[in-house]
Amino acid sequence: MEKENIKTIPVCTITLRGNERKYVENCLYTGWISSKGKYVELFEKKFADFCNVKFAVSCVNGTAALHLALESLGITQGDEVIIPDFTFVATANAVRYSRAKPILVDSELDTWNIDVDRIEEKITPKTKAIIPVHIYGHPVNMDQIKKIAKKYSLYVIEDAAQAHGAEYKGKKAGSLGDVGCFSFFANKIITTGEGGMLVTDNEKVANRAKSLRNHASDTKLFNVNRYFHEALGYNYRMSNIHAAVGLAQMEYAQDLVDARIENAKKYHSLLKDIPGLTLPLCKSWAKNVYWMYSILVKPEFGITKNELMAALYNQEIGTRSFFYPISRQPAYSKDKYILGNFNTQELKISNLLYEQGLTLPSSSSLTIEEIKRVAETIRSLSLQKS
């Protein structure tokens, strides 16, 4: 295919069309640029309301939110935490940061989420928590997760890094487990550039997370001895500047979520009859927010996922591969501490997802012309091979 003089469609760009600049300028003007300043609490409050939870604790990124969640619930050395094999590496890394062992479970072929029917067989007396990850914005079947968690007295930490605004049976992702964790990295539906949030209805957990994110400072002693630290804590505080961007984003958060869902509808209508593609679905009980519009390229398509990605790149269309399974990451496959915790033969679907999956341009600001160009390019590539 000839490469014309065409505009690049990136896999994701940011949308900053509200009060972001005004609020950031206010930080610079007033001098409140570190983690003290009004925007941190304002953003937390807005985000808690958005998720319908009592408490929201901001932090530096989604990975830190997961780490804070695990430590605030007391997960530690020797504990086991069940996670999907198919997820971004941060989910597993956070478990390791808290010195626990990630126990990997394969994925469902339809939702691409953790296979809830395979969780129970992995539970041992050491299991302390499950981290369901709402992959690409489709919620996990949380009733099933909660049933298992209740039966074995496990904590549920939702990794909702990719699922702002998603719903399970009408309830917001992040509000269904003991703790929910979000990322505000630049490609996320709501962004602060870098940033994260832990949400919970449990005041004790929220207070513990607030303390741990600030070097485990004891807030009651703060005015007496601010340099007393009652445990090993971290500097995971979000800056007022990042929170200023976040607050502005929250003022039109629903539009940002709706735009991704609209993108998905358009992609779906343009791609649905192309043989060899599997398109993302939405279960009857779910509100999928399609963080990234993602597809599987099956052999019937005629070219592989990698070939399709290269051909789209050649036409100035950005894509991303699906995640490389955790079980194949050197930090996990070669680590003696966790070796033997998973059998790669059992992790067939996560490997298939990696082999076949890619993400198409998904910005909230995507135009119908751009979506049409992506879809038509994919169609022409499929026809070339038939």
Ligand X SMILES: Cc1ncc(COP(=O)(O)O)c(C=O)c1O
Query: Contact residues for ligand X (CB under 6 A)?
Result: 61-63, 87-88, 90-91, 133, 159, 161-162, 183, 185, 196
In whole angstroms, how close is the CB of 191 to ligand X at the nearest point? 10
In whole angstroms, how close is the CB of 90 to ligand X at the nearest point? 4
Q: Based on CB atoms, which residue is closest to ligand X, 140 or 309?
A: 140
Q: Based on CB atoms, which residue is closest to ligand X, 162 or 359?
A: 162
Report d(CA 248, CA 225) in Å as an integer: 35
In whole angstroms, how close is the CB of 134 to ligand X at the nearest point? 8
Counting Cβ atoms within 10 Å, is residue 6 exposed (0-12), middle (13-18) or buried (19+)?
Answer: exposed
In whole angstroms, how close is the CB of 192 to ligand X at the nearest point? 9
Nearest to 212 by CA among 231, 186, 190, 227: 231
Dihedral over alpha carbons 177, 178, 184, 190 (to 10 degrees): 50
Residue with tokens 């341009």: 361
In whole angstroms, how close is the CB of 234 to ligand X at the nearest point? 13
Q: Based on CB atoms, which residue is closest to ligand X, 183 or 364?
A: 183
In whole angstroms, how close is the CB of 103 to ligand X at the nearest point? 17
Report d(CA 176, CA 158) in Å as an integer: 8
Number of residue whose CB is nearest ligand X = 62
Handedness of CA 120, 90, 163, 323 (dihedral sign): negative
Q: Based on CB atoms, which residue is closest to ligand X, 129 or 311?
A: 129
Q: Based on CB atoms, which residue is closest to ligand X, 72 or 377?
A: 72
Tokens representing 280 are 């993302």
Q: Based on CB atoms, which residue is closest to ligand X, 55 or 236?
A: 236
In whole angstroms, how close is the CB of 197 to ligand X at the nearest point? 10
Listing DSSP states for 178-229 in one string gives SEEEEE-BTTSSS--BS-EEEEES-HHHHHHHHHHTBTTB-GGGTTT-TT-B
In whole angstroms, how close is the CB of 333 to ligand X at the nearest point? 19
Q: Based on CB atoms, which residue is closest to ligand X, 87 or 240?
A: 87
In Å, how far are 55, 136, 297, 381 from 362, measured between CA atoms?
Answer: 30, 11, 18, 20
Q: Running DSSP on this structure, what letter comes out for residue 144? A: H
Q: Based on CB atoms, which residue is closest to ligand X, 133 or 317?
A: 133
Report d(CA 285, CA 113) in Å as an integer: 14
